[in-house]
């Protein structure tokens, strides 16, 4: 039923295809009746012309059945590929709107398998099992009626296996559903390992870990193989029951029918028609096993698909602002943190928050360096500004406006970010940089951003800024990737700039050049900069020390060196490491 919104637009073609398939299948059941007429009529009367006429009827019925099944496939192919494409597009759009916390929890391979393998299973289910469970059910019902009309005693003999076959199907369905879910989850785990191995190939080769990775892959493959073999054993069991019992019943009906023909209680044509009908029902009956298997795999795929779709997305609209007093433009301008607390959603509710009552004010046009020990929460604090994470309590304002009162799209137009780990996409240099600018931004702004980030090396690439950088930008050095990420942050001339240690991968000379260019940008921008080195700290007007989840001190670099021992220790440690 959850698939119905996707199926509804193409329901007319699907229902028509099902009707055509029912007619085609029932057309096949007319063939035994023609055989009865041939045997009891032209064959018994030794009428060659009648035999040829009967053969013509059989040929026409066979052609009609084939054409009808061809029409059914034509009816479903295009609409079902559209259904699959729509579901895949909806999943992709939804994943873009899910919060960062969701992506932190979920393995990417599990999401990939839901968008590829699972949707393929759903399309196959809609194209084949969904239709043929109905078609075969109708065919079996019509065939049983025909056999009972031909001879009710033989019909009852053939119906004897119905009860054990139905019981086997019920038991099989429950067991197969559990194994199918396990197999699809294991496919997701295997996909995750392959993806991580491809993206981390330099680490694997650099540390000579290819054998251990191969062993890990082999172990996951063996688990998946074992699960697939379990599925095969279940399918073999139900197949054995579904094939053996009806075949035995048909054999018994054959013996009993021959005896009746010998005793002249039954005509030879009726026995031929009865057995032909029974044999025509072999496929509908025997297909029940794998149709149920495919249906269970589709049910599991549907469950897995909607597990991701049911996750609550980020609300694109503005949320109701938190209660506070009257805003004062003189004191609220710029970027302000007010009593901000943050605890990760999956953290123990009784554990202390990572950030606890953070109060910080960055005045308009001011740049503030954020310094603290490793693990103190600096990166997390910067992620709160563009609402990559939501504050647990307290609030953050931009020019006096609570960021939760802004639509995320508007907020992220005002705030640009550059992360410590630069991420590039498999597209051109220019497209990667212009991702941080409004649509329609021209070449001049691209060149300006590259100049500020000292990323003019892009012009020397084989195709200039039209050069594709490859997956994750691994064809570039770490410093080059970081400079492009910085260019992406400044290209849109943002009102607020959040930089997470933006110069960590640069050499001393490039760092000095970037700092000189950044000073011009920061003069007109309100900026929060995570800093680990004194050279980066000196870019800022003031420095905030984050310690114990709180802002422990605020001042200029020189003031904090003189008055705060923890800050002096952090800075001296950085200088020693350099």
- pLDDT tens for each residue of 70-125: 888 888 888 888 888 899 999 999 998 888 878 888 888 888 888 888 898 898 88
Could you tell me the strand order of the sheet in which 355-362 lies?
355-362, 335-342, 393-398, 401-402
Strand order in the sheet with 367-372: 415-418, 496-500, 526-530, 367-372, 542-547, 550-555
Over residues 539-554, the mean pLDDT reads 90
Q: For 231-275, write each residue's pLDDT tens digit.
A: 899 888 888 888 888 888 888 888 888 888 888 888 888 888 888
Length reported for the chain? 578
Contact 495, 526 (CB under 8 A): yes
pLDDT > 80? residue 578: no
Domains of the chain: 4-190+227-309 (1.20.1560.10), 330-577 (3.40.50.300)
Rounded Cα gap, residues 502 and 483, in angstroms: 8
| Residue 192 binned pLDDT confidence (cut-offs 50, 70, 90) | confident
Per-residue b/e over 158-191, b at no fewer than 16 CB within 10 Å?
A: beebeeebeebeeebbeebbebbbbbbbbbbbbb
Is pLDDT at 328 greater than 60 in this prediction? no
Mean pLDDT of 363-369: 89
Predicted TM-score (pTM) of this structure: 0.73
The pLDDT tens digits for 399-449 are 889 998 888 888 888 888 888 777 888 888 888 888 888 877 788 888 988
pLDDT band at residue 220, thresholds of 50, 70 and 90? very high
Distance CA 553, CA 372 (A): 11
Q: How confident is the model at residue 224 (pLDDT cuts 50, 70, 90)?
A: very high
Q: Give the pLDDT score at 265.
A: 82
Q: How far is residue 241's CA from residue 247's CA, in Å, rounded to a whole number?
A: 10
- 113/109 Cα distance (integer angstroms): 6
Q: Flag whether pLDDT at 471 surpasses 80.
A: no
The tokens for 78 are 């295009």
- Per-residue tokens: 73: 């496939």
- CA torsion through residues 423, 426, 429, 435, sign: negative
pLDDT at 329: 52
What is the phi-psi region of residue 339: left when phi exceeds 0, alpha when psi lies from -120 to 50, beta otherwise? left
């Amino acid at each position: 039923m959850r698939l119905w919104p996707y199926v509804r637009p193409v329901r007319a073609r699907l229902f028509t295809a099902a009707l055509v398939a029912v007619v085609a299948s029932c057309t096949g059941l007319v063939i035994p009746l023609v055989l009865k007429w041939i045997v009891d009529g032209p064959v018994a009367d030794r009428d060659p012309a009648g035999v040829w006429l009967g053969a013509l009827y059989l040929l026409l019925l066979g052609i009609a059945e084939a054409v009808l099944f061809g029409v059914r496939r034509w009816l479903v192919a295009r609409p079902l590929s559209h259904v699959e494409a729509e579901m895949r597009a909806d999943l992709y759009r939804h994943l873009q709107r899910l919060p960062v916390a969701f992506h932190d929890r979920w393995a990417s391979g599990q999401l990939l398998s839901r968008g590829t393998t699972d949707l393929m299973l759903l399309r196959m289910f809609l194209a084949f099992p969904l239709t043929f469970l109905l078609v075969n059910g109708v065919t079996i019902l019509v065939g049983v009626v025909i056999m009972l009309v031909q001879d009710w005693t033989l019909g009852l003999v053939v119906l004897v296996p119905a009860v054990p076959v139905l019981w086997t199907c019920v038991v099989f369905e429950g067991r197969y559903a559990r194994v199918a879910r396990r197999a699809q989850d294991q496919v997701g785990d295997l996909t995750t390992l392959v993806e991580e191995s491809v993206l981390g190939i330099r680490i694997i080769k650099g540390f000579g870990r290819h054998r251990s990775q191969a062993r890990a892959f082999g172990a996951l493959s063996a688990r998946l193989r074992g699960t697939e073999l379990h599925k095969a054993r279940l399918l073999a069991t139900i197949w054995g029951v579904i094939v053996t019992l009806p075949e035995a019943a048909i054999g018994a009906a054959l013996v009993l029918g021959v005896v009746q023909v010998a005793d002249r209680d039954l005509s030879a044509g009726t026995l031929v028609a009865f057995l032909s009908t029974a044999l025509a029902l072999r496929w509908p009956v025997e297909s029940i096993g794998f149709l149920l298997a495919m249906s269970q795999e589709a049910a599991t795929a549907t469950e897995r698909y909607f597990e991701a779709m049911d996750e609550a997305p980020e609300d694109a609209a503005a949320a109701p602002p938190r209660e506070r007093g009257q805003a004062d433009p003189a004191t609220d301008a710029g970027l302000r943190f007010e009593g901000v607390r943050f605890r990760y959603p999956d953290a123990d509710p009784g554990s202390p928050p990572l950030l606890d009552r953070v109060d910080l004010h960055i005045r308009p046009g001011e740049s503030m360096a954020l310094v603290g020990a490793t693990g103190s929460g600096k990166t997390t604090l910067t992620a709160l500004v563009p609402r990559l994470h939501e504050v647990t309590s307290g609030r953050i304002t931009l020019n006096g406006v609570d960021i939760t009162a802004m639509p995320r799209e508007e907020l992220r137009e005002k705030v640009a970010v550059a992360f410590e780990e630069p991420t590039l996409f498999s597209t051109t240099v220019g497209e990667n940089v212009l991702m941080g600018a409004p649509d329609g931004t021209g070449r001049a702004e691209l060149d300006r951003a590259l100049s500020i980030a000292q990323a003019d090396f892009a012009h020397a690439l084989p195709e200039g800024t039209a050069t594709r950088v490859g997956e994750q930008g691994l064809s570039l050095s770490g410093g080059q990737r970081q400079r492009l990420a910085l260019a992406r942050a400044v290209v849109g001339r943002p009102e607020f700039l959040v930089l997470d240690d933006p110069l960590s991968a640069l050499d001393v000379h490039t760092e000095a050049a970037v700092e000189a260019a950044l000073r011009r940008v920061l003069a007109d921008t309100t900026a929060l900069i995570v800093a680990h080195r004194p050279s980066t700290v000196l870019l800022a007007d003031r420095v905030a020390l984050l310690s114990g989840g709180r802002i422990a001190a605020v001042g200029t670099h020189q003031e904090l060196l003189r008055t705060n021992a923890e800050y002096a220790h952090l800075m001296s440690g950085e200088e020693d490491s350099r």
